[in-house]
Structure 1
């Protein structure tokens, strides 16, 4: 035993070693990718997700599907994180990222079975991803803020195959106007915060009733109907505190022995509330948005002063209000100062499909916009919101990078061919990994063909042939089954969708491949944690 390592684990700890761990982790990653693969592309199918409460979500968005699925295996969760990161960074291409991760794992498994060490595969994959990023930059197209026509093509490509795809021509201008209204010119270029575009949902009416409001919408109504319905030249106060009598936090006992003492106590409460309202009135505010409650007595005084007030405002909405109006979010009534109030040309309450909402237009900081979505059912409106959020993100990143590429699987085929050529220049075993990386990229056009009911092998061969002839933008038209120029076919995507998907998929794959030992503490009864494989070795 001398010189040999000794492993000492408790009786309840389980371990799965080397090949078994790698196989199980790869299998889990492939299973996640397979779950969303059928949703890829314009001809992709939808998934109906039903939660424990019976609520239904119908979508073909990869990130949404994986987020709603009850996934327990730790390696599978890493693939879910790839889709989540893609959604956070770009907003679209989540299914592409997940499918690519699964295929990279599948190709790595083939190499492992041939005796190639996982660290060699990881090194080769990193080299391939770096080279692929360089190649992508050679096939990009520039886009400017004034090129609305190209931006319209980006929006339509993003919406195609989703719930809003039928109305993509209608939504194109709305999305472009919304993004341009919040885009800021900085020294580093254009910056777009899609969070500045508020999306509100309303059931009822037609999808074509959806409108863009050049301002901010708060899904709240006045606390009292006799308050002014419309306030021009609004001076806006934002309060994170409640406009009410503050109860003593510590335990206390007050003994009242006469009606006069009771009346004095009530009068003191009223005076405290009135003092708070008087300070608000003295500041010059004529519109108040409060995160917490507004006491009935405070409502009365505010109404009497002709102030428009809303309560129970979400913190996220208060932050948007602060950014749009230039107001400071007050933490206490003693902090109120006239110079910290926000401003807007108009604050008014409107009735939208039977629900009252507050509209702010002509805000001090004009970088804000709101979309009011309409649809006949909750599911339709939810689907619209998800699709439009993706489209907003697509235009946002396209403007920031000012680089786009053709879609329809053309970048993946071009990368596959160029990476195969690059692999031939390498001498070590990394050459094998780079070649497999190139093969894995073909899963995207292959899946597009499969989901369209076409023969994937024939289409891949046709695509390779076109790209070898120098047609870098040749892709698959899933509607006709023909190989066409994607630029001429108006199928465009932001460059960042491709680079982010490649990098995220590569990093997740490398991390999974480098795991050769899975050790997890079991429960007190010795059972494995959820999602962990039953081991064949105990130590």
Structure 2
């Protein structure tokens, strides 16, 4: 007998039972099917129309799902998975959705057989633990200082992306940038903050090959007085401020009553003396460049240009922090607290250049920068946006390997090894959990199967051959070459995946599948819109309706 649909009131509806499970699984599968074709080097591109009428062309799983507008709550939680994966490790955003969709797909058969979702979830969690221990056995450790190995690795991880046609370019940029911002914390730990300290500056025009990593910072600003201030300084002394260099304005509307004409002169003189005092406190340290996040008055500009100091005002806080990291300066809140140690001396060159129609300030050739800017050039904005998305993925891969230098084979080889290990172990499991555990082993094969589909080869023949090679657990390096669809040794083709990306993908996919399976009620509390002119909703008491049992009407107490 079908579960009842309970109408709690005119504005709250509730669905429960197997109907909800099936609806959730179908919604999750629909999301997975949208991006299934974007996996692998032979992936298809998706063209998206965003809300403002712009066009995005990409095969980045996270970028595609970000633009999707879905109504179903389970589909929304699937899209959230991709975002989580992107923030956590920056790669594997497509794989995690495909895997989660497959885990839910294989669970559907057990839901139909009236298995309790808790049993399926328990089997999945056991499979997750065993899959991670199977990955540990095939993981290899590499030397992060070997540039050739690192380049091959980053290239193989972003080989599915649009920019793979430009050879080593993106991998080189990503490696250089992450090496600059990496900070050793001791005991083998490294901190690599790519979001905070690597700025990607996209300027349309020029060739993609003109892109480079600057050992320092660039930002879209010119000096305050271009005619009077220098635009090129070698080895400058830099002072960074977080305060305005202009006269203090009164809080709210301050009224000053002037009785005599001379009082006006006194007021102006006080302002001038205040500004002069501020400037002298700064000029005492003989800076070449003064950068402030706030305003800078004309009078202060006059004192600075007279002293031969170049000034920049209204800079973003994030850019100011990056300059501090690059040249060794400290951002100061009050000029009277300035010390010699706050002055940045680690910069080799300050220069203002005109690129296209805009002026850009460069603080580059720094001695030991801990922040950098990646300058991207290209034919159009759309191309640059896609290159930036690929670069972010490449930098995430570099960061993951620097933090945890362990690798597993790519091309579906890791998933097939895990699948084979779980199939062997399933024979030792007793009781009702055996069957969902076996189904989880089969679900891992979704990745190599999708790769084979996107290559255009015979999927059944390829998968049978791969399963045969992995069955005895010896050929754990054999996978699919995503370009040709051939079955090859991943070590020879140098196709790798970062270990912690794989582990995160498995964990996120299985835990999300379990969460969605454990939902047995969807209660919607959205008020229905009333037609104009209609009265208030009826106050009749809600009732339970059960199909095929019209007489069985019972009142729910209010």
Contact 2:233 2:351 survives alignment (8 Å) = no
- 1:150 aligned partner: 149
1:234 positional shift:
2.9
Secondary structure in 2 aligned to 1:253?
coil
Worse overlay, 128-137 or 362-371: 362-371
CA distance in 2, matches of 1:60, 1:406: 22
- 1:214 aligned partner: 215
- 1:57 aligned partner: 56
1:491 positional shift:
1.1
- 2:300 aligned partner: 298
Secondary structure in 1 aligned to 2:376?
strand
CA distance in 2, matches of 1:184, 1:194: 11
Aligned length: 526
Secondary structure in 2 aligned to 1:345?
coil
- Cα distance per residue 1:13-60 (max 9 Å; x no partner): 222212222222222222222221111111111122222222222211
Worse overlay, 338-347 or 469-478: 338-347
Q: Does 1:188 align with 2:187?
A: yes
Q: Does 1:167 align with 2:166?
A: yes
Worse overlay, 452-461 or 188-197: 188-197
CA distance in 1, matches of 2:278, 2:57: 48
1:22/1:245 CA distance change after superposition, 3 Å: farther
Contact 2:288 2:310 survives alignment (8 Å) = yes
Gap regions ≥5 residues in structure 1: 1-6, 528-534
- 1:510 aligned partner: 514
- 1:478 aligned partner: 482
1:137/1:526 CA distance change after superposition, 3 Å: farther
Contact 1:97 1:504 survives alignment (8 Å) = yes
CA distance in 1, matches of 2:355, 2:545: 61
Q: Does 1:410 align with 2:409?
A: no
- 1:79 aligned partner: 78
Secondary structure in 1 aligned to 2:346?
strand
CA distance in 1, matches of 2:19, 2:79: 22
1:114 positional shift:
1.5
- 1:401 aligned partner: 404
CA distance in 2, matches of 1:28, 1:258: 78
1:275/1:110 CA distance change after superposition, 3 Å: farther
Secondary structure in 1 aligned to 2:51?
coil
- 2:390 aligned partner: 387
CA distance in 2, matches of 1:181, 1:262: 54
CA distance in 1, matches of 2:26, 2:300: 62
Q: Does 1:375 align with 2:378?
A: yes
- 1:99 aligned partner: 98
Contact 1:343 1:364 survives alignment (8 Å) = no
1:205 positional shift:
0.7
- 2:492 aligned partner: 488
1:250 maps to which of 249, 252, 265:
252
Secondary structure in 1 aligned to 2:223?
coil
1:474/1:21 CA distance change after superposition, 3 Å: same
Secondary structure in 1 aligned to 2:447?
helix
1:377 positional shift:
0.5
1:343 positional shift:
2.8
Q: Does 1:322 align with 2:320?
A: no
Contact 1:289 1:311 survives alignment (8 Å) = yes
1:311 positional shift:
2.2
Contact 1:242 1:294 survives alignment (8 Å) = yes
2:527 maps to which of 515, 523, 535:
523
1:246/1:73 CA distance change after superposition, 3 Å: farther
1:227 maps to which of 220, 226, 229:
229
1:310/1:417 CA distance change after superposition, 3 Å: same
Secondary structure in 1 aligned to 2:236?
strand
Contact 2:236 2:350 survives alignment (8 Å) = no
- 1:443 aligned partner: 446
1:135 positional shift:
0.3
TM-score, L = length of structure 2: 0.88
Contact 2:214 2:365 survives alignment (8 Å) = no
1:223 positional shift:
2.2
Worse overlay, 349-358 or 505-514: 349-358
- 2:201 aligned partner: 200
1:206 positional shift:
0.6
Worse overlay, 479-488 or 125-134: 479-488
1:305/1:217 CA distance change after superposition, 3 Å: same
1:28/1:274 CA distance change after superposition, 3 Å: farther
